[in-house]
Structure 1
Amino acid sequence: MSGTARHGMGRGVLRPDAAAAVLEVRQHPPAPELAPLVEFYWNPRWDLRGRPDHEQKVLAYPNVHLVLEPPEPRVYGVQRGVFSRVLRGRGQVLGVKFRPGAFRPFTDGPVAVLADRTVPAATLFGPGVVALSTAVLELDDLAKMAALADAFLLGRVPRAAADPKVAQVAELVERITASPQLFRVDQLARELELSVRQLQRLFADYVGASPKWVLRRARLHEAAARADEGAGIDWARLASDLGYADQAHLTRDFTAAVGAPPGRYASG
């Protein structure tokens, strides 16, 4: 595991120590009735007045987010590359992290159409989400912010709860992300007694990213977490542990995703 307790940032946040120096991220659970759909609310806050802008990069998880932010709330599909955001001045947002697969009931088609995209939240949730965003961002009390978001989303639970595949997909993705030693799509399909094509369609429809991408991202999260611990890592052994053919394969994968080889990233 990475040094999450040291820097207070979750996995996927690149350069977490630097992020913690400029950014506070609070979390709050949803109402119990929403727990099957929403993992948690997240509330990053920053005050960079008189300080340089900060670019924060994130290796995202296979989740869709509703983000209450100025100038308008937006829905973020699964970001398959490195997600980057420049923070300046003073501000905050409130994000709703939907469980993998749990955003499907809120759309009229496969979640894959949102991959690598952001869309105005009003197109999916109606104009009321704009008023919600304004009201939430005027608050400082996270519990009150979460309560407003709860009330807004609870009116949409019945439709979402009617789809049994939501829980199935969430459990499946959680299993993958918790087990970076699970390497191959065909292996996963066999364990689920599905064909590879069936598994691919399920992920396109509900997750918004392919099973191959989800498996790869779980391995990269583990590699980045190790790299954030600092230098002195046995990369060849880690490559083997994560199912890569060799260290060069890990290096290529990591560099393509993060923008720097793992050794250079680890050395800061």
Structure 2
Amino acid sequence: MYYREYPPHPALAAHVECMWAACAPGGAHTHRVLPDNCVDILWQDGGQPGFAVGMMSSSILVASSGPLRTVAVRFKPGVAGAFLAAPLHALTDQRADIDQLWGRNDAERLADALWTCELSDRERIAVIEHQLLLRLHTAGKPGDAGDLLIRRALAALDASGGALRIEDLAAQLGVSRQHMAALFRARVGLSPKLYARICRFRLAAAALKATPAPDWAQLALDCGYFDQSHLIHDFQEFAGSAPERFLHAA
């Protein structure tokens, strides 16, 4: 399967992790998508409006029956709500057609611009970026105190690889766990604890791909797990397999 990431327009860099393009091969094909603590909007050839994929709490299997081209935007954690005009918990483990979020006319015009003419992936991405810049300009207001708190919380969790205790994080930010959990639910789409667990899992998954014969107990400790059993539990929940099978499949 072809897959390529592109850096976003500089004016979108604070909000967008990357733009990306993919093409599924001919014939029946299935691939597993792992939770990555991001929200994506995807547009696929065929002229249909795009769709948003919310934060994922587990992996999903994506099947295609033939060649399928995709162009997409992947938002940084905590910012997609400004572009989707929706609380992110409503999208967790769900997909929503973009015409329901942006309006049918805007969604159909964008789909026509993407697929009516023969364009390169980079040209299609530029079309999407133009739409995102318009929506960013329309939003136009600076972040409130909740946005600032979420950015600080996410930065601390990411920097710790998910090892930071939620109680300690709340204390550092000077808020209650309940207040922080409510903000995460609306503006991130996951609880702080689940976000941190996925941070640890992603760190461990990356370490596995770089380590052909890991010391499992040491790997668990290096990635912020209490012990090897917690590492195994997260792989079974987030990847649908034990770490050993994930390593051989990677």
TM-score class, shorter-chain normalisation, is 0.7 to 0.9
Aligned residue for 2:120?
Answer: 141
Partner amino acid, structure 2, of 1:260 = S
Return the letter of the residue paired with 2:243: P
Q: Match of 1:118?
A: 95
Q: Contact (CA 8 Å) 1:99, 1:170: kept in 2 or not? A: no
Amino acid at match of 1:40: C
Whichever residue aligns with residue 190 of structure 1, its letter is: A
1:152 to 116, 131, 146: 131
Matching residue within 201, 204, 209 for 1:223: 204
| CA displacement 1:207-264 (0-9 Å, x = unmatched) | 1111111100011111212222354101111222233222112112211221221123
Distance 1:102 1:161, change over 3 A: farther
User: SS in structure 2 opposite 1:239?
Assistant: helix
Which of 128, 133, 141 lines up with 1:162 in the alignment? 141
Q: How does 1:1-268 map to 2 (within 5 A)?
A: 23-48=1-26, 52-69=27-44, 70=46, 71-127=48-104, 128-137=106-115, 138-165=117-144, 166=147, 169-170=150-151, 172-180=153-161, 182-229=163-210, 231-268=212-249
Name the CA distance, whole Å, in 2 between partners of 1:179 and 1:159: 35
Aligned residues between the structures: 243
Give the C-alpha shift of residue 114 in structure 1: 0.9
Unaligned 5+ segments in structure 2 are: none
Q: CA deviation at 1:119?
A: 0.9
TM-score (norm 2): 0.86
| Maintained 8 Å contact 1:231/1:263 | no
What secondary structure is seen at the aligned counterpart in 1 of 2:169?
helix
Q: Say whether the 8 Å CA contact 2:84–2:102 is kept in structure 1.
A: no
Which residue type is aligned with residue 34 of structure 1? Answer: L
What SS does the aligned partner of 1:75 have? strand
SS in 1 for 2:210: coil
In 1, the alpha carbon distance for the partners of 2:173 and 2:101 equals 32
In 2, are the aligned partners of 1:77 and 1:115 still within 8 Å (CA)? Answer: yes
Task: Classify the secondary structure of the residue corresponding to 2:194.
Answer: helix
Structure 1 residues 57 and 167, CA gap change in structure 2 (3 angstroms): farther
Range moving further from structure 2, 113-122 or 101-110: 101-110
Distance of 2:148 and 2:17 partners within structure 1 = 12
1:120-172 CA-partner distances (Å, limit 9, x unpaired): 10111122222312322454423311221122122211343414144653454
> Which residues of structure 1 form unaligned runs of 5+?
1-22
Identity in percent: 28
Q: 1:33 to 1:265 in 2, by over 3 A?
A: closer
In structure 2, do the counterparts of structure 1 residues 185 and 147 end up closer, same or farther at CA, with 3 Å as the change threshold? same
CA RMSD of aligned residues (A): 2.2
Q: Is this contact kept in 2: 1:28–1:40, CA < 8 A? A: yes
Distance 1:201 1:247, change over 3 A: same
Question: What's the secondary structure of 1:130's corresponding residue?
Answer: helix
The 8 Å contact of residues 46 and 90 in structure 1, kept in 2 or not, is answered as yes
Cα distance in 2 for partners of 1:229, 1:31 equals: 31
Shift of 1:25: 1.5
User: Cα gap change, 1:244/1:230 in structure 2, threshold over 3 Å: closer, same or farther?
Assistant: closer
Q: Using the TM superposition, name which of 26-35 and 165-174 deviates more.
A: 165-174
What TM-score results when the alignment is normalised by the length of structure 1?
0.81
